[in-house]
Amino acid sequence: MENSLLRIAIQAKGRLNEDSMALLRDIGIKIDESKRKFLAQAPDFPLEVLYLRDDDIPQVVAAGTADLGIVGLNEVAENSTDGTIDGSPLQIIRELGFGQCRISLAVPKAEPCDSPAWFEGKRIATSYPNILRHYLSGIGVNALIEVIAGSVEVAPAAGIADAIFDIVSSGGTLVSNGLKEVEKVFHSQAVLVACGQLPAAKQPLLDELLFRIDSALVSRQKKYLVMNLPQEAIEQAVRIVPAMRSPTIMPLAAQGWYAMHAVIEESQLWEKIRQLKAIGAEGILVLNTDKIIP
Ligand code: PRT
Ligand code: ZN
């Protein structure tokens, strides 16, 4: 029976917890947060959720203590430079589109740093020494890496380092510490990782989970449009909104008017709405799509 239960490790507290739980909810896996413990079983899917610190997730998944994990790509890269951890393979199987950030080199605002050569011989504070070492050796720069567990951004003002290599999202933390971002080295987002040695009996469960995750991820980037169109605008509207196969067009009770339904990429939403308004579309409704099954 043990093999018929998948175990996924997610961050217990912190920046990825909420979005990880939301993704599970989106695919029909509802964990009762009020009864949450270290390990919780989903009531409606053969899945256990293991709550951990993000730093521990890559190793726990590579070792097979959890079959899957949701963690920042930065943690995966820091813990594994060759796709294995302590000899056990770890696979990145999906990019999840949340937790986006970058790891950047930053220096005090007044420093005349205009090329990576500036870092030669400098002290750089970071919590990501492996990613930094890999980057520096790639560009042939020798610097002293000072490993700091937290609050890396205060290191230059404290005289511990000349520069930092840290996670940046909005850039606000750098600005409020008198630093400027000079090199975006590593781009990260939350990823789904899997144990490289998943027992064969669990594969069908993983396939079902991935099918659901893919449907949820696709639908997050789409919007459902409903609008009214005069008959003469239909041909142009179909060209503007080709939809998945082709938009649905239905006659309205009012003579000469039609309703068009279509699914479009969210990134194109406002541009498409402008074009549709220009050809006479009215009463445009924009709805979220819950799941899209291709
Ligand atoms: O307790 P645990 O070890 O699980 O959590 P943690 O404190 O190590 O990690 P947490 O919750 O801070 O971040 C988890 C993951 O979220 C990271 O590994 C990244 O993949 C991702 N992520 C996304 C971020 C950020 N955005 C982020 N802005 N992680 C950290 N930050 C911090 C950064 O360290 C810096 O202090 O936010 C500050 C910069 O933010 P801005 O917006 O001011 O630029
Ligand atoms: Zn952490």
Task: Choose the final residue of a domain: 200, 219, 238.
Answer: 219
What CA–CA distance (Å, rounded) separates 69 from 216?
17
DSSP code at position 200: G
**Closest to 100 (Cα-Cα) out of 169, 196, 26, 202:** 169
| Structure confidence by residue, pLDDT tens digits, 137-154 | 999 999 999 999 989 999
Do 74 and 200 share a domain, yes or no? Answer: yes
Whose alpha carbon is nearest atom 14 of ligand 1?
Answer: 15
Q: What crossing angle do the helices spanning 17-26 and 203-220 adopt, rounded to 10°?
A: 100
Based on the fold, state whether residues 142 and 204 are members of the same structural domain.
Answer: no
Ligand minimally distant from the alpha carbon of residue 102: 1
Query: Which residues lie closer than 8 Å to 235 by C-beta, 6 or more apart?
Result: none
> What's the CATH number where 135 sits?
3.40.190.10
Ligand 1 lined by 58 (C-beta under 6 Å): no
User: Domain ends where: 173, 198, 219?
Assistant: 219
Position in ligand 1 atom list of the atom nearest CA 153 = 36
Closest to 126 (Cα-Cα) out of 80, 168, 84: 168
If asked whether residues 233 and 163 sit together in one domain, one would say no
Q: Is the CB of 222 under 6 A from ligand 1?
A: no
Same domain for 138 and 204, yes or no, is no
What is the pLDDT, as a whole number, of residue 2? Answer: 47
The Cα–Cα gap between 273 and 207 comes to 37
Q: Are strands 163-168 and 123-126 parallel, antiparallel or unpaired?
A: parallel
Q: Is residue 90 part of a domain?
A: yes
Q: Is 235 exposed, middle or buried (0-12, 13-18, 19+ CB in 10 A)?
A: exposed
**Domain range for residue 60?**
6-99+190-219
Q: Given this model, what pLDDT does residue 292 score?
A: 87
Same domain for 232 and 201 = no
Q: Does 132 share its domain with 178?
A: yes
pLDDT digit string, tens, across residues 233-252:
999 999 999 777 778 999 99
- Residue with the smallest CA separation from ligand 1 atom 32 is 167
212 domain residue, yes or no: yes
Residue 1 in any domain: the answer is no
| Ligand 1 atom closest to Cα of residue 152 | 36
Instruction: Tell me, using a 6 A CB cutoff, whether residue 16 lines ligand 1.
Output: yes
Three-state DSSP class for 151? coil
Residues 18, 79 share a domain = yes
Q: Is residue 67 part of a domain?
A: yes
Ligand 1 pocket residue status of 11, Cβ below 6 Å: yes
Instruction: Say yes or no: CB of residue 14 within 6 Å of ligand 1.
Output: yes
188-218: pLDDT as tens digits: 999 999 999 999 999 999 999 999 999 999 9
Q: Which of 146, 167, 188 is the last residue of a domain?
A: 188
- Which of 11, 54, 127 has most ligand 1 atoms within 8 Å of its beta carbon, as the pocket-test mutant? 54
Asked if 161 and 204 sit in the same domain, the reply is no
Q: What is the pLDDT of residue 1?
A: 42
- Domain check: are 125 and 207 in the same one? no
Residues in the chain: 294
pLDDT for residue 94: 97
Give pLDDT tens digits for 61-74: 999 999 999 999 99
293 within a domain of the structure (yes/no): no
Residue 48 belongs to a domain: yes
When comparing pLDDT for 294 and 177, which is higher?
A: 177
Pair (253, 232) in one structural domain: yes
154-190 pLDDT, tens digit per residue, is 999 999 999 999 999 999 999 999 999 999 999 999 9
**Is residue 205 domain-resident?**
yes
- Number of structural domains in the chain: 3
Q: What is the pTM of this model?
A: 0.91
Across 20-24, average pLDDT: 96
